[in-house]
Chain A
């Protein structure tokens, strides 16, 4: 909101995150006098503070609430030094000796901080981590840059270079080199003066210190080295590079002596081998923000002008996962404003959050989003203490935490909260029976009945269908379910007004009896037809009273009645023409219409498809797409192979915590507006997402735009509100609040970019594009965006620095090209007709549209682990597994024919056995016969090594419960299984006409330079 505020936040040393949010401001509030005593631009601010706010700035020690810290902004904003920075963020505070967030604080700052710190210990210790903590943490700060997180504000400490900076670097070195083992390797002709600023261009081998950009950013500017900064020689660099060098990373590209190829060493390319590294600077700047698992912005520096937006070529938006699973001990607090009613802003309807400020002795509060002054209801009133903090702050989690859940009173309901409702629509035609699907699902549903959320309120119902539709009367007074067959498909009617949908606890015995007899009931069914459309309509009629979750199990192409589909997609000529995309959208408008109707009546549809032949997932998936559901696809389902996967995923679907009849809205500050939404939901109005059912495995992406040409605020707030009915039957509102600073500098936007969120959004945009354009165009769009972004970034620095032929990119986006490449090679977007089955492509597309960020990144750049060393070493304990088995680059080069590798993308595990693997190991793991058919072999054997391998697989599966990765075994050279299971997924290799990583980088680099 105000300039001071952001400064204060920056001022706050990084490792002190444990502070309870509101108090974080306090040091800065109280530090005001200290700052004021210096010739700093802050002085004027305290002076013009209007009388109302003045009490909140007693010169003495303050333990401020969020209120006072933010308040001056509204009044004292106009101080000139805070005007839009011209180039670097640090220039905003030209005379500020204060360390910015992630810099090693110059020594003289600690005296400044210390006086502040002592008063801080006065508030109750329960809220305030002792200040000694604060101080103790200071010494490690200089090494903070090691963490490799691009600092939020990266200006070099202007005045006092820490004398120890030279010694910091050696300390840094091991961490860096171990992380990027290959980096020091490259030596190229581009030994330009600045060649070392990036992490990836290393000087000749002797000086093995690749200074990564962010470190460089902290370096002081000793006059000695600044003129040249030549750093190619073996002489260890002084901090000299720092002054010259901006914080970007670079790759040397161009032929070098002794190398025959394009001059790019594959080893130096950045790879996300640590998985998803979230930028932490954001969370540290605004510790009261909700956790990044709920909300991630593509860049946490919001551009302040349209022109800046147009120069940021990547998507500008957020990825929201409103119900993400929180780890133990971090449960979302539930707040019940029983008497008060939920406290919201009168005008913009923002929920009360940690960033609102209380004034007027606690009688008014100012909305942080629209700045309206609201009255505090009597019940909610608490007086402010001398620092302007509410005295009862510790009893109000909604004022200290960015993520809370409110219990909603009756005015948030249009009808009584619905019970959890599960309805099953099961295809019982011949293929379902023969593949064993029917048996597995009957078994799984039965085993989950006790664990369904909602205890005694849960409702359940079944319809089965082949060429006719079978209804089941489950009335609790019956002992056996009654089956009613409707064969008139043109005019669907429901044979019973109720009892098709029953309360589970009352009719438990009937349901059990039904599930027991279901597989045997149809075991001789030879019907091959599928009256899917009419059955869907029947299910809709049954469910439309209440809403709920509809699980569809479909194993053939719908062939009868309304909504029948025809075989398509086998026409190879359609690919590459304008008609190509028509294959990826529903053929029959019936499906879209049904989806819209389902959403209207609060029904979420999950589609399970099992066929070995074409089932038109594009059409069926539409039902899931617009109802907030999910598509599960098991091509060529065979119970013997896929049983565990189906069982796990169905059980997860049935038992995970689900929020019902939900709507979600994201609000943001003035001047910013959300323009488009991407994911599985239906828009009910321009900014309201209708989500009949939401759970922790669903994420939604959205893009925003600036409404005004110039943003005048200094902070933009985002608030995600999800109004839902919990399984326990309570209406609740989950609220996530986050703040992000507004910047005027493009470099800062790049520095604070979040690759994960960007890739997630880019992927969703590309998949949406593939629905109306050719795949080729969707892929090109990704490439173009990356090229434009890097080009803009290059222009930003090319003038100041001689970047030569090197490729430069921000540290925060170092993985972006690789993820972009992985996107173009993902199942949903890769190749053409032959590269993946149409159904698989569509199913992957639907899945990717709903994936949370981490899961998406895992899918795009799966992990590849070499495990034979670990298996052979008998003494090793299971807990050293992570240390022994490091992730390897996803290239065929990483595969050694003497080893065993596990490939894990979160959806499947592939265990790859090298050809030269020792026979002993082989025998221990897969048995005697070398010629065994690997698609059928089982890994479970009674010996140490096999048990160890099973432990590894279990551990990998346990990392994320949302899907069950099925394990495939494959032997080197075993075609075609090796090809489609593993080789085609090695992202960095050249597969089927798609670029390899090196080619891709070269291509992007060429285009950037044009």
Chain B
């Protein structure tokens, strides 16, 4: 990713591309938040980890995840990527809703009852992020190529 970014930016100083790269980076940053949670949850399911550790590990990354996602949305908004902003808006809304209802943290006492739902939710989020990443990448390369042609 970085390579592309650097090479592209060497080619041109075009603003579009750099922004694309930035958002790319932000999206990539989000991934480490979702996948360890999933791994933690499946470990829990197979009894490799106790619920206390599992819950504290997951809860440790939840707020950073929410913040990064918020920042990503903000970047989209500020750089005028309206489409991308709209695409990530539902995710943001969902996170904010969880946070305001105080449901964002995993509850250690009920973790096993919520296990399936939590896993589903995180896999969905992961899919969503991959989709965003893909779009961002596509957008960036598309722009870069267009610039080259010019």
Contact = CB atoms under 8 A, between A and B. Distances in A.
A685 B108 CA distance: 11
A592 interface: yes
Contacts of B108: 592-593, 596
B128 interface: no
Interface stretch (B2-10, B47-55, B86-94): B47-55
Interface stretch (A259-267, A676-684, A755-763, A920-928): A676-684
A622 B107 CA distance: 13
B53 to A, nearest CB: 11
Interface in B47-70: 47, 50-52
Interface string A571-604: 0000000000000000001001101100010000
A235 interface: no
A468 B102 CA distance: 30
B46 to A, nearest CB: 8
A52 interface: no
Contacts of A622: 109
A686 interface: yes
A584 to B, nearest CB: 14
A686 B52 contact: no
Contacts of B52: 596, 600
Interface in B102-131: 102, 105, 107-109, 111-113, 115
Contacts of B102: 589
Interface string A646-685: 0000000000000000000000000000001000001111
B147 to A, nearest CB: 52
Contacts of A688: 47
Contacts of A596: 51-52, 108-109
A685 B47 contact: yes
A850 to B, nearest CB: 16
A626 interface: yes
A686 B47 contact: yes
A600 B108 CA distance: 11
Contact of B50 (A593, A626, A676, A685): A685
B51 A595 contact: no
B109 A592 contact: yes
A920 to B, nearest CB: 59
B45 interface: yes
Contacts of B115: 686
Contacts of B111: 683
Nearest to B105: A589
A682 B109 contact: yes
Nearest to A597: B52
A592 B50 CA distance: 17
Contacts of B47: 685-686, 688
Contacts of A600: 52
A242 B133 CA distance: 71
Contacts of A589: 102, 105, 107
A717 B45 CA distance: 24
A600 B51 CA distance: 10
Given A683-B51, A684-B50, A626 B113 contact: no
A686 B113 CA distance: 9
Interface centre among A589, A682, A685, by most chain B C-beta atoms within 10 angstroms, is A685
Contacts of A593: 108
Tier of interface size on chain B: 10 to 19
Contacts of A626: 109
Interface in A687-742: 688
B107 A592 contact: yes
Nearest to A688: B47
B112 A686 contact: yes
B116 to A, nearest CB: 10
A676 B109 contact: no
Nearest to A690: B51
Contact of A595 (B44, B50, B105, B109): B109
Interface in B67-107: 102, 105, 107
Contacts of B105: 589
B113 A676 contact: yes
Interface string B11-37: 000000000000000000000000000
Contacts of A595: 109
A593 B105 CA distance: 12
A685 B44 CA distance: 7
Interface string A615-637: 00000001000100000000000
A686 B109 contact: no
A684 B47 CA distance: 9
A592 B113 CA distance: 15
Nearest to B48: A685
A683 B112 contact: yes
A688 B47 CA distance: 10
Nearest to B113: A676
Interface in A910-945: none
A576 B33 CA distance: 38
A924 B109 CA distance: 55
B89 to A, nearest CB: 24
Nearest to B112: A683
A595 B108 CA distance: 10
A626 B111 CA distance: 12
Contacts of A683: 51, 111-113
Given A592-B109, A593-B108, A686 B50 contact: no
B28 to A, nearest CB: 32
A595 B55 CA distance: 14
B107 A686 contact: no
Contacts of A682: 109
Interface string A92-131: 0000000000000000000000000000000000000000
A589 B47 CA distance: 25
Contacts of B113: 676, 683
A596 B50 CA distance: 12
B64 to A, nearest CB: 19
A561 to B, nearest CB: 20
B99 to A, nearest CB: 14
A635 to B, nearest CB: 27
A504 to B, nearest CB: 31
A789 to B, nearest CB: 24
A626 B52 CA distance: 13
A593 B52 CA distance: 10
Nearest to A685: B47
B36 to A, nearest CB: 19
Nearest to A683: B112
Contacts of A592: 107-109
A592 B109 CA distance: 7
A231 B61 CA distance: 73
Interface centre among A595, A596, A600, by most chain B C-beta atoms within 10 angstroms, is A596
A325 B136 CA distance: 66
17 contacts: A589-B107, A592-B107, A592-B108, A592-B109, A595-B109, A596-B51, A596-B52, A676-B113, A683-B111, A683-B112, A684-B50, A685-B50, A685-B51, A686-B44, A686-B45, A686-B47, A688-B47
Given A589-B102, A685-B112, 7 more contacts: A589-B105, A593-B108, A685-B44, A685-B50, A686-B47, A686-B112, A688-B47
Interface of B: 44-45, 47, 50-52, 102, 105, 107-109, 111-113, 115
- For the complex of A and B, 5 pairs with smallest distance between CB atoms: A685-B47, A683-B112, A596-B108, A626-B109, A592-B109
